[in-house]
Amino acid sequence: MATMVHHLLSETAQHTPTAPALWHQQTWTTYAQLEEASNRLGTALYEMGIRRGDRVALLFDNSPEYVISYYGALKCGAIVVSLNTDTTAELVKRLLDHSQACAVIASRKYFRFVLPVLAQVPAVRVLVTDSKLPNDFSLSQVHSLLSDALASASDSPPPPNPSIDVDCASIVYTSGSTGEPKGVMLSHLSIVANTRSIVDYLNLSHKDRILVVLPFYYVYGKTLLNTHFMVGGSVVLDNRFVYPNLILDTMEETAVTGFAGVPSTYMILLQKSTLSQRRFPHLRYVTQAGGAMAPLVQKEVVRAFAPAQLFVMYGATELSPRLTYVPPDRLTEKWGSIGIAIPNTEAFVADDHGNPLPPGVEGEIVGRGSNVMMGYWKNPAATNAVLRNGCYFTGDRGIMDEEGFLFVVGRTSDIIKIGGNRVSAKEIEEALLGIGGVVEAAVIGVPDPV
């Protein structure tokens, strides 16, 4: 049974080497091919001096190269720092500095953000790219083409590293382009445990095939990769969501059994595609997380994808990321709920000290389990603010009903006082999303003299 994240690939490659693992641009890659390539890259990184605990930053779109780099870096004991591809050179520099990354693996598409800052980030000593560097660019770091590393290094696993499952596997940054970055440290244990829980409640098997439009740097997107590799399923990559009908074409062509999206994903499909004219006979389920989706939209999604089941889910990057889900057979009874705790976790409403509150009493939603993060990288103050008494305090205000189903009523920071009354921004946003033609909504409080 897998204990380290890279075992999710290695164990499946050992059992079903020729099974299709990854589809990208009309081409299938097998588990054996991904295992061999990630072994080669892990060995190459080790030979370039990358060791246990070193941070390796990835800046790639979803692709076989991303998957190979992700598992390859983990195999040599490194901590993966997946960088948001919607970025700037300034942000790349700040995150490389903050994570003290020792290596960067980047695609040519993002050279304009990476190359100008390398001289300003002394910790980076290795650069791996999918294309040659510009002729006029001078580099002090060790540089290797990804293709050269894959061609020359051994296809045996890198030298054994002494990592154990409580070691950090990934640092995921949650901040945007402004403010102090918060790097969520997720251990091998937390990722693998959460992966196993998701496999359990989705009832995933080797027969499942997921269409992935969410980026892998995003923790929700990464779960789609890890869960399907755990069970020997397959992953279909399509980065063309700007053309939603092409996504639906791929869904039909590859006969996927699952699809995942955030609320805006489904709003776009409902309003800007031919979804209502399509049928997906192989589709077994769709999942939604990454923010609240208004019950009205949930009902439209259920109708559009029927008979596939809708799993409404809730979590946070700090929870690896999943904490709760609504069993599809209870969805029509529990519209607006974020559900019950996933297997091997606890989720409840608590007071400021983490004491559970009775049903119907408002408090903060907290999570407890092996999926909880290690803390924020180099930020003990922020860590101590959310990790208390063995629980992760989500910052979401909620209530629990008599059956243990949770309902979010607002964020601790999103309560707006209007005329002396406390109003939930989330409640107004859900009302706005119920208006025809509204795809996304955000509500903030603005000072008023009255």
Rounded to whole angstroms, the Cα distance separating 345 from 368 reads 6
Question: Dihedral of the CA atoms 131, 132, 136, 139 (nearest 10)?
Answer: 100
Q: How far is CA 4 from CA 63, 74, 92, 176, 190, in A?
A: 22, 9, 28, 29, 10
**Contacting residues for 99 by C-beta, under 8 A, at least 6 apart:** 55, 57, 81, 171, 183, 377
Q: How far is CA 330 from CA 294, 302, 309, 409, in A?
A: 16, 13, 11, 20
Considering the entire predicted model, what is its pTM? Answer: 0.92
* Residue 26 DSSP symbol: T
Position 179 scores a pLDDT of 55
Over the chain (450 residues), what is each successive 10-residue block's mean pLDDT?
95 98 98 98 97 98 98 98 96 96 98 97 97 93 96 92 93 69 95 98 98 97 98 98 98 98 95 96 97 92 97 97 98 97 98 94 97 97 94 96 95 68 75 84 80
The three state secondary structure string of 408-448 is EEEECCCEEEECCEEEEHHHHHHHHHCCCCCCCCCCCCCCC
Distance of CA 448 to the CA centre of its chain: 38
**Contacting residues for 343 by C-beta, under 8 A, at least 6 apart:** 196, 197, 200, 201
Q: What is the rounded radius of gyration, in angstroms, for the C-alpha atoms of the chain?
A: 22
Residue 209 in contact with residue 236, Cβ under 8 Å?
A: yes
Q: How far is CA 81 from CA 84, 294, 349, in A?
A: 10, 32, 32
* Residue 69 DSSP symbol: H
Q: Which helix (H) or strand (E) holds 185?
A: strand 183-187
Q: Which of 4, 48, 229, 79 is nearest to 146 (CA)?
A: 48
Position 427 scores a pLDDT of 76
